[in-house]
Amino acid sequence: MTENFPQLSSFDEPSLDAAFATLAEEVRTADTTDIEAFRLHWLGRKQGRLKLISEAWLKSAPPEAKKALGIRFNQLKQQIEAALEAPAPSTTRTARAEQGIDITLPGTVRAPGIPHPLLKTMHEIVSVFHHLGYSTNLGPQVESDFYNFEALNFPPNHPARDTQDTLLIAAQQSRPSRDRLLMRTHTSPVQIRTMIAQAPPIRIVIPGKVHRNDAADATHSPIFHQVEGLCVGPNITFSDLKGTLDHAMKALFGSDVRTRFFPSFFPFTEPSADVQISCIFCGGKGCRKCKHSGWIELLGCGMVDPAVFAAVTEERRKINPADDAYNPEKITGFAFGMGVERIAMVQHGISDIGHFYSGDMRFLEQFAS
């Protein structure tokens, strides 16, 4: 197999080019069906064709021709290695021709993707308010201190900021405090952005991801999701707020659900309230899920504080000094906010918020139907 190869009578450039062209043509037209046999034929350590030709030609070559021979042998070796790496067309065609399809075998089943349970719940909440005429607004997750705190009546060093401790972006010390960047702690900054950009009436819902410096446990996560709402216009009352949220809770949990409101405190609303629904697991009789109270707390709400309207007016007047769209003597409004994880946990009877983020397919597959 290795005894026949071109003989060199001269080592000038034309003779070398002709001899190596012959070898290159042999490589190009070689049968590579058996790739291992092809490799041994050309690159075998003891009887490989390339090794034998190299020894024969280099031994008889004059010193001045050995460099040219070496360069050409390296090029030929690269061509052989490229042929080894390339798929063999004849093998592929033969395999495809011989391959059959057994129609008695079961087909490949591809499970369709499903929305994550948190996204599914978020879309359900937003859909309820869309049917009430609300539109959706979104905003950045990295916010300035002004939009996240100051405009929402959280002055610097106010104790209420402690409940919304967050992650600050590095290297912000040189900026004015209102311009320092942080990860938003709620989606409320979008309320401010919307009011600055748009005159009333406003009816929006704001879904999104938020961040707080909370220790992870069964009911808390440093990253979670909210849906907030804002309604601003003339003659908006607390009764409108109660009717809106009562309808939303019935749409999410069933028409038998009752709601009740308890006084609470939020810097950006006054008066403020926590909203509870009758326990959907025991019908309000009392069970472990509702801590035997018959009620489950779900969200917070309240009438927009005039201080928030004042902050919005101040920003709008930088563009139009005569702007009076958010005069609290002419318009009122309400706002509310709910945790998507909290709603999903109640809807599906989930006891640990960590399941949503674990990536455990055994948990997620329960929501495929």
Q: Give Dmax over CA atoms of the chain in angstroms.
A: 109
In the numeric block, which tokens belong to residue 291? 């801590």
CB atoms near residue 237 (< 10 Å): 11
In the numeric block, which tokens belong to residue 75? 């090029």
Domains of the chain, each with CATH number or no CATH: 13-98 (no CATH), 117-367 (3.30.930.10)
pLDDT per residue of the chain (369 residues) written in tens, 0 to 9:
445 666 777 888 888 888 888 888 888 888 777 888 888 888 887 778 888 888 888 778 888 888 888 888 888 888 888 888 876 554 444 444 455 677 788 877 777 778 889 999 999 999 999 999 999 999 999 999 999 999 998 887 777 677 667 777 888 888 888 888 989 999 999 999 999 999 999 999 999 999 988 888 888 888 999 999 999 999 999 999 999 999 999 999 999 999 999 999 999 999 999 999 999 888 888 888 888 899 999 999 999 999 999 999 999 999 999 999 999 999 999 999 999 999 999 988 888 898 998 888 888 888 876
- Give Cβ neighbours of residue 172 (< 8 Å, ≥ 6 apart): 180, 181
Taking the alpha carbons of 70, 76, 80, 81 in that order, is the dihedral positive or negative? positive
Amino acid in the structure at residue 110: R
CB atoms near residue 121 (< 10 Å): 25
CB atoms near residue 251 (< 10 Å): 17
CA distance 53 to 108: 52
- Give Cβ neighbours of residue 70 (< 8 Å, ≥ 6 apart): 58
What's the pLDDT at 94? 47
What's the pLDDT at 42? 83
Is residue 315 within 8 A of residue 204, CB to CB? The reply is no
Closest CA to 243 of 231, 233, 234, 228: 231
Q: How far is CA 53 from the centre of its chain?
A: 60
Is residue 335 within 8 A of residue 227, CB to CB? The reply is no
CB atoms near residue 135 (< 10 Å): 12
Can you list the pairs that 155-163 forms with residues at least 24 positions away whose Cβ atoms lie under 8 Å?
Answer: 158/267, 160/265, 160/267
CA distance 264 to 284: 22
